[in-house]
Amino acid sequence: MQQLILASSSSYRKSLLDRLCLPYTAHAPDIDERRLPGETPDTMVRRLSESKARAISTLYPDNLIIGSDQVAIIDDYILTKPGNFAAAQQQLRRQSGQKVRFLTGLALLNSANGSSQVDIITTDVVFRMLKEEEICAYLERDEPYSCAGSFRSEGLGITLFDAIHSSDPTALIGLPLIRLCQMLRNENYKLL
């Protein structure tokens, strides 16, 4: 049976993949993740998901390689990872009372034959109206500076929302496990 490789250094993606109790190796790809001129968010997340998997395929020539990427969009504006308190505070102010769409790309590359499956799972997050003191208290406690949208839904960030709409709740955290399992079954990979 082919081995699983996770093309990521993300602790969130590793934690999610651990839920499946499958053996895998994680290897961080070295790719340029900047948006190309004129590239739509959908196209970008598909491209980056597959590029991450293909970037390490020569190192793992007979494996199933998982690549994933995520962007958050509000009013046609892409929210990035804030990196610090001030940027996160600004993002949460902007999201207060709004709906934010998260596009989570997923690619499964069979490096033995070069075939790939690529998909996007959409998650809509409806933020409640946030008070300034709530934003500051949340950021000080959860420190979500490495997360697109400035929150961790698997943690205290859940208190910021009125609703989450998705066909796969793990997509919002960064790796859509329901869709990944479907892709693995398509490759005749034994999950149970």
The pLDDT value recorded for residue 76 is 80
The pLDDT value recorded for residue 49 is 97
CA separation for the pair 55, 149 (Å, rounded): 26
Mean pLDDT, residues 118-144 taken together: 97
Residue closest to 5 by CA, chosen among 28, 31, 25, 29:
25
Strands (E) in 56-150, as ranges, are: 63-74, 77-79, 99-110, 115-127
**Percent share of the chain, pLDDT over 90:** 89
At 24, which helix (H) or strand (E)?
A: strand 24-26
Q: Which residues are catalytic?
A: 69
Mean pLDDT, residues 155-167 taken together: 95
The pLDDT value recorded for residue 15 is 95
pLDDT classification of 113: cutoffs 50, 70, 90: very high
Longest CA pairwise span in the chain (Å): 54
**pTM metric for this prediction:** 0.92
| Tally of CB atoms within 10 A around 173 | 23
CA separation for the pair 164, 132 (Å, rounded): 22
The pLDDT value recorded for residue 2 is 87
Q: What 3-state class would DSSP assign to 184?
A: helix
pLDDT classification of 81: cutoffs 50, 70, 90: confident
Q: Are 179 and 168 in contact (CB under 8 A)?
A: yes
For residues 111-126, b (16+ Cβ closer than 10 Å) or e, as one string?
A: beeeebbbbbbebebe
Q: Which residues contact 50 (CB under 8 A, 6 or more apart)?
A: 67, 105, 107, 109, 116, 118
Mean pLDDT, residues 69-85 taken together: 91
The pLDDT value recorded for residue 21 is 96
The pLDDT value recorded for residue 22 is 96
The Cα-based distances of 40 to 35, 71, 115, 125 in angstroms read: 9, 11, 24, 20
Mean pLDDT for all residues in the chain: 95
Mean pLDDT, residues 175-189 taken together: 97
The pLDDT value recorded for residue 101 is 96
The pLDDT value recorded for residue 75 is 85
Task: Kindly report the CATH number that applies to the domain delimited by 3-186.
Answer: 3.90.950.10
